[in-house]
Amino acid sequence: MTQRKRNIAIVGAAATALLAAGCGPTLIARSQTPEQSAVSMQVLPAVDRKAPVNQPIVIVAEDGTLAEVSVQGPKGLMKGSYNAQRSAWTSKAKTLDFGTTYTVNATATNESGNPTSLNRTFKTVNPQTLVNISSVSVADDTTVGVGMPVRVTFDAPVSNKKAVEEQLIVKTSKPVTGAWSWESDQVVVFRPKKYWPANTSIEVSMPLKGVKTSKGAYGAANSEITYRTGDSMVSVYDAYKHTMTVKKNGKVIKTFPATSGKPGFETRQGVKVISEKLDFVVMDAATGGTSEDDPEYYRLDVNWAMRITTSGEFVHAAPWSVGSQGYANVSHGCIGMSDANAYWLFQNSQVGDVVDVRNTGRPQDLGNGITEWNVSWKDWLQNSKTGPVQTESITSTT
């Protein structure tokens, strides 16, 4: 009887394409007994050169049982585990090293106990450039306001935006519809259609190690952050009424007299987000280009200041303008309140809370602070490669 030969299958979409083209690597596993056919074993990664690193090593015996698996990596034998049927082995390491050779030795037996052996060596991709996440707008294990988007900044341009975006996963303890959107080749931002729900746990998973970001460039590492939102605090300043109205979880709890930018120095109108809190700061008009000889020059010691634009708009205590608060706009662009009112708002607000400025006539310039909420949902989706998504569910930590 002639011994039967069976190719060891190579699994995965990439391998399927290679085999269809007739150029896939072919390995032959022969049974030691002519009367029995060889066990077919599959191996991932499925290519012998430039193998991806963003997956574990997996060996599967399709019609037999794995007797022994040995995988040699850069630090010696790799740890792994079998499934309950002992038909598959998966490495404990979920990602591999770049530019590294791995050697797989495996033995499987068929129903009669006859062994089939496999020996395979492959080398992983060796990037020209490793791309890192240089910053994320939210720190791990923090609490922020409901207006804080997730801004991910890379240290190199990304051209394969869809491939990167597909790897970014947002999970929440309350369902949220949102979308990633690219603000530049190096910045991608996730925001819900409307503000985050209050008191919600959020996980952002960024498994980008080995993901091709551009020609010759790959993600360097995987990362993850977990944080939560606090109560919903939305403060609305109306320049016509000269009032600041504070809503907590949708209910008005305070209304303060206030003042904003006078003609020529109007406060920008739009939805802003508190990005920084300073209990004391020296505000010097020279930092904005105003000469000390200019009648509009000022240098002031300011308490209870909360930044709402990069260019220098704050909500802060302004005891010098109490007589105008509630009646006129007299500042150089900031929103001013009495010491007591500014202190209360400072104590009850956090980074990420919303300040909605209305009726000033001067539009908010995008990018001057956290301004993502001033982009319509339709326009937001224009720069998304994967479109709107429903966040995956996690168990609340409350």
In a domain, 19, yes or no: yes
pTM for the predicted model, two decimal places: 0.85
- Final residue of a domain: which of 123, 154, 188? 123
Q: Is 60 a residue whose pLDDT tops 80?
A: yes
Does residue 218 share a domain with residue 105? no
State percent of the chain over pLDDT 90: 83
Does residue 218 share a domain with residue 134? yes
**Which member of 23, 242, 316, 332 is catalytic?**
316
In a domain, 366, yes or no: no
Radius of gyration of the chain from Cα atoms?
Answer: 30
- Mean pLDDT for 309-327 is 96
Number of domains within the chain: 3
In a domain, 1, yes or no: no
Does residue 212 share a domain with residue 115? no
**Token pair of 67 as six digits:** 């007797």
Instruction: Supply the pLDDT for residue 32.
Output: 45
Q: Strands 65-73 and 58-61, how do they pair? A: unpaired
Does residue 101 share a domain with residue 141? no
Using CB atoms within 10 Å of the CB of residue 283, give its burial: 0 to 12 exposed, 13 to 18 middle, 19+ buried. Answer: middle
In a domain, 95, yes or no: yes
- CB of 218 closer than 8 Å to CB of 125: yes
Does residue 113 share a domain with residue 13? yes
3-state secondary structure 120-163: EEEEECCCCEEECEEEECCCCCCEECCCCCEEEEECCCCCCHHH
pLDDT tens per residue across span 254-296: 999 999 999 999 999 999 999 999 999 988 777 777 777 777 7
Residues 6+ apart with CB under 8 A from 197: 146, 172, 174, 176, 229, 232
- Mean pLDDT for 122-145 is 97
Does residue 222 share a domain with residue 142? yes
pLDDT tens per residue across span 165-207: 999 999 999 999 999 999 999 999 999 999 999 999 999 999 9
pLDDT tens per residue across span 196-235: 999 999 999 999 999 999 999 999 999 999 999 999 999 9
Does residue 36 share a domain with residue 14? yes
Q: What is the domain extent for residue 61?
A: 6-123
Does residue 190 share a domain with residue 282? no
pLDDT tens per residue across span 18-54: 233 333 333 434 444 444 678 999 999 999 999 999 9
Q: Is 6 a residue whose pLDDT tops 90?
A: no
**Token pair of 268 as six digits:** 């920008």
Q: Check which CATH number belongs to the domain holding 223 and give it.
A: 2.60.40.3710
Please state the φ and ψ torsions of residue 139, each to the nearest 5 degrees.
-80, 155
- Final residue of a domain: which of 64, 89, 123? 123
In a domain, 355, yes or no: yes
- Final residue of a domain: which of 105, 123, 141? 123
Instruction: Supply the pLDDT for residue 8.
Output: 35
In a domain, 194, yes or no: yes
Does residue 293 share a domain with residue 349? yes
Q: Is 333 a residue whose pLDDT tops 90?
A: yes
Q: Check which CATH number belongs to the domain holding 331 and give it.
A: 2.40.440.10
In a domain, 369, yes or no: no
Does residue 79 share a domain with residue 29? yes
- Mean pLDDT for 65-75 is 96
Annotate 307-320 with b (16+ C-beta within 10 A) or e (fewer). Answer: bbbeebbbbbbbee
In a domain, 52, yes or no: yes
**Which member of 23, 242, 332, 334 is catalytic?**
334
Does residue 286 share a domain with residue 186? no
Q: Check which CATH number belongs to the domain holding 111 and give it.
A: 2.60.40.3780
Annotated active-site residue 23? The verdict is: no
Instruction: Supply the pLDDT for residue 16.
Output: 32
Instruction: Supply the pLDDT for residue 36.
Output: 60
Does residue 32 share a domain with residue 112? yes
pLDDT confidence band for 398 (50 / 70 / 90)? very low
